[in-house]
Amino acid sequence: MIPVYSLVVPIFNEEAVLPVLLRRLDGLLPRLDGPAEVIFVDDGSTDTSPIVLEARARADNRFRLLRLSRNFGQQVAMTSGMARARGQAIVIMDADLQDPPEIMLDMIAKWREGYEIVYAQRLSRDGESPFKLVTANLFYRVMGKLSDVDLPQNVGDFRLVDRKALDSFLAMPERDRFVRGMFSWIGFRQTVVQFHRPARAAGETKYSLAKMIRLAASGLVSFSDAPLRAALWAGVAVCGIAAAYALFVVAAWAAGAHLERGWSSIIVVMTFLGGANMLMTGVLGVYIGRIHSEVKRRPLYFVDREIGFETSAMVKPAREEAA
């Protein structure tokens, strides 16, 4: 039987949280109003996560494991899992239970009302460092100001998407995949459900500072050309000032003023122009870098192994098991 619901869960060294996660999912799946599959994407874990998940995928045909050949990052891991999903509604969630799986029931209610994309919006965030809260807040603000898409505030990657929206998303060929921006960008009927985000159930965050910066940069550059335009306007302004200064010098000369004291100011203007030029070149370089990575058209990921995909028979949710 084709599942109605697909859950996509990226996993990177999550052995500490897996027992709790599997228990929560076992409790949730029978409460859904249709058959469901759970797709774990192992994003190059070096701990026992893939072993635990492989055992589950072999024992229970509602579970699948997709193992990527190395760590490609959460955005690519999610994309690879979504590409395998066969359900009519696909839910993406973190493994650490910061995205409580039970919220899926609220999302499904909205989906049944006809929304194609249902975001889970955080009303609060527990157990995050003040640094993470401040930087995340700043990021959402800057994105809101600069970007071409309306990125909902305090929304991560926890969301339900309809098959239609998913197929649109998968049809986007770009390599630099800022998933939440792409889902805003594709349109359709979008809505939110709100929740209080708990702390990580176990283990440590898998987002290093470097990964966070990379994600933020990817979001800005792939959904905004404001930096490019800012450089352009800065260049125009600087050139305008230089032209005004030149007019002033000519006027002063025509009026017969004694001029040789202007030497140092000319040096200042030249330096300033050089700096503006460098800034523009730098910004162009960022975009050209992106073009470069797009034209390479490398496969987004390579799959190491697939486990649990061969059976098409799904277990009917056993309602009597639900506590």
Stretch of 92-100, 109-117, 170-178, 261-269 lying at the interface with Mg ion (CB under 5 A): 92-100
Q: What does the alpha-carbon distance between residue 211 and residue 216 come to, in Å, rounded to a whole number?
A: 9
DSSP-assigned beta bridge partners for residue 307 = 65
Q: What does the alpha-carbon distance between residue 44 and residue 299 come to, in Å, rounded to a whole number?
A: 17
- Shortest distance (Å) from residue 285 CB to ligand UDP: 26
Q: What does the alpha-carbon distance between residue 50 and residue 47 come to, in Å, rounded to a whole number?
A: 8
| Closer CB to Mg ion, 88 or 121, in the complex | 121
Q: What does the alpha-carbon distance between residue 121 and residue 138 come to, in Å, rounded to a whole number?
A: 17
Q: What does the alpha-carbon distance between residue 29 and residue 37 come to, in Å, rounded to a whole number?
A: 9
Among 32, 53, 74, 116, binds ligand UDP (CB under 6 A): 74
Can residue 99 be called a binding residue for ligand UDP (CB under 6 A)? no
Q: Which letter, b or e, does each residue of 85-103 get, where b requires 16 or more Cβ atoms within 10 Å of its Cβ?
A: bbbbbbbbbbbbbbbbbeb
Can residue 13 be called a binding residue for Mg ion (CB under 5 A)? no
Dihedral pair phi/psi, residue 304, rounded to 5°: -80, -60
Can residue 73 be called a binding residue for ligand UDP (CB under 6 A)? yes
User: In the structure encoding, which two tokens stand for residue 176, read together?
Assistant: 């630099």
Among 206, 218, 222, 223, binds ligand UDP (CB under 6 A): 206
| Closer CB to ligand UDP, 11 or 231, in the complex | 11
Q: Which of residues 79-98 bind ligand UDP (CB under 6 A)?
A: 94-96, 98
Stretch of 72-80, 167-175, 213-221, 305-313 lying at the interface with ligand UDP (CB under 6 A): 72-80
- Shortest distance (Å) from residue 127 CB to Mg ion: 9
Among 205, 216, 227, 269, binds ligand UDP (CB under 6 A): 205
Using CB atoms within 10 Å of the CB of residue 318, give its burial: 0 to 12 exposed, 13 to 18 middle, 19+ buried: exposed
Can residue 195 be called a binding residue for ligand UDP (CB under 6 A)? no
- Shortest distance (Å) from residue 50 CB to ligand UDP: 12
Q: What does the alpha-carbon distance between residue 238 and residue 28 come to, in Å, rounded to a whole number?
A: 61
| Interaction site with Mg ion (CB under 5 A) | 94, 96, 98
| Interaction site with ligand UDP (CB under 6 A) | 10-12, 14, 43, 71, 73-74, 77, 94-96, 98, 205-207
